[in-house]
Structure 1
Amino acid sequence: MAETIHPFYESHRGAMEAAMRHRLDIAETMLCKILRPSDVGGIKREVMDEFGIVLAQMPYVGGVASRMSDFFMRLIGFMAISRVLRRHGVPPSVIGDVERETYKAQLLTVPEAERLAAGRQFMSSENQAFLREQAERSHQEQFPDDFVYDFIEPGPGDSFEFGINYKACGFCKFAARHGDKDILPNICGLDFDAYATRGIHLERTQTLAGGASHCDFRFSRLPPD
């Protein structure tokens, strides 16, 4: 375990901890159903303590220059939740259910107009150009714990607008280093709601965590309700 938190993450620590406390407050009802209600308060405190450990373990992957820094900051806290619930005997599949429902509920606290605007920005031609540039940069492997990926253009007959093939995953590397491989799929399971709440359909048939050669993300717009 690293002794200190990287300065980039330290500068965002307050916001990350606030998001974690909000997440745990949302999860409390679900936690009371799978654990003794009298234990839940202590478990929430245990998760926040574990989150401090996770923050110190987080690899630096370029800060504001890398889009993947945001992925780490938004999702790495689920490793802390998974570790603590695992120690309390909760099966990984149940942990995954709790985390997906919690994350979806947290995402839905953002106003719909704001979420859909973020989705339109993600699907925009400007962002696709940015993703192409970031994908090319990822192959330089400047940071060994970062993601490596390719931008995928649709071919004839494809229904998606664009795709990303992740050849190396920062979360997989983190999990392998810190003994979290059994709870790693819980992180993968968060992606679908993360995009759906922004009006984006994600199709994915395989993951690195599941033993595939790459994760095949394919994006298209969800039809309006």
Structure 2
Amino acid sequence: MAENIHPFYGTHRDAMEAAMRHRLDLADAMLRERAHLTGIDGIRREVMDEFEIVLTQMPYVGGAASRMSDFFMRLMGFMAISRVLRRHGVPVPVIGEIERETYKAQLLAVSEAERLASGRQFMSPENQALLREQAATSATESHQKDFPEDFVYDFVEPGPEDTFEFGINYKACGFCKLAARHGDKEILPNICGLDFVAYAARGIRLERAQTLAGGASHCNFRFSRLSSD
């Protein structure tokens, strides 16, 4: 199966697998107490086996040149966890709760200084300029032809009455496309819920009133800095 993994993801495979094992360590108690599962060692093996399948399904969207490649590498492992727990009869809301708390614990294992520096970089004028550029590229016919499984999005400037610093409207979602192709629509909202955890850990407030996964025309991400209080 390994030969079917895209070479770009193959170079990051060890790190992604290590992150998966760390997540399973962090989730151990919750799997027992909230999901009421037994035979956790077997569950772990099943999740890692499913992750091998997920690795072959990850769409290539441009590698290091695309900011969305990192989204796939950081979050696709939760698709494997969701699939396995769903097969074991764990309710979808419980799966989402376990994944959010696990992801939060994993993110907070990084020093606060490093996390907040990453948040400042994301909110910086330089990164906003990059986001504008990549948003414009994502909507071009040539990019969509080359990377049909990629995200398509617009950069949103705040209006006079807005309180956010900038926004992104995702008009097409790589995770939605993959979920539709592999029968994962039911668990897709759990992946969406991880966004709030990821940005908060970096000192960023995410506001989002709708998602493609929820049937909306686009996902309306709005970003501002969290208070330091």
TM-score w.r.t. structure 2 length?
A: 0.96
- 182, 200, 223: which one pairs with 2:204? 200
Who is 2:164 aligned against?
160
Letter in 2 for 1:169: C
What is the aligned partner in structure 1 of residue 220 from structure 2? 216
Q: What is the distance in 2 between the residues matched to 1:192 and 1:84?
A: 23
User: Displacement, 1:195?
Assistant: 0.3
Q: Distance in 2 between matches of 1:55 and 1:38?
A: 26
Match of 2:29 in 1: 29
Aligned residue identity for 1:218: R
> Over residues 87-130 of structure 1, what are the superposed CA-to-partner deviations in whole Å (9 max), with x where a residue is unaligned?
00001111000000000010000000000000000000000000
Residue type of the partner of 1:92?
V
* Cα separation, 2, equivalents of 1:120 and 1:90: 37
Whether the 8 Å CA contact 2:35–2:94 is kept in 1: the answer is: no
Q: What do residues 2-24 of structure 1 show as CA deviations (whole Å, max 9, x unaligned)? A: 96100000110000000000011
Which amino acid in 2 is paired with 1:208?
A: L
Matches within 5 A, 1:1-225: 4-35=4-35, 38-140=38-140, 141=144, 142-225=146-229
Flag structure 2 segments of 5+ consecutive residues without an equivalent: none
Shift of 1:41: 1.1
DSSP-derived class of the 1:51 partner: helix
Once residues 212 and 47 of structure 1 are traced to their aligned partners in structure 2, the CA distance between those partners, rounded to angstroms, is: 31
Q: Is the 8 A contact 1:2 1:57 kept in 2?
A: no
Query: 1:3 and 1:175, CA in 2 relative to 1: closer, same or farther beyond 3 A?
Result: farther
Q: Secondary structure at the match of 1:15?
A: helix
Return structure 1 stretches of 4+ with deviation > 6 angstroms.
none
> What displacement does 1:38 show?
3.9
- In structure 1, what is the Cα distance between the partners aligned to 2:132 and 2:11? 28
1:162/1:218 contact within 8 Å kept: yes
Shift of 1:46: 0.4
Q: Which moved more, 1:34-43 or 1:155-164?
A: 34-43
Distance of 1:26 and 1:89 partners within structure 2: 20
Residues 203 and 225, structure 2, Cα contact 8 Å, conserved in 1: yes
Whether the 8 Å contact between 1:169 and 1:208 is mirrored in structure 2 is yes
Distance, in Å, in 2 between the alignment partners of 1:3 and 1:79 is: 21
For residue 99 of structure 2, give the secondary structure of its aligned residue in structure 1.
helix
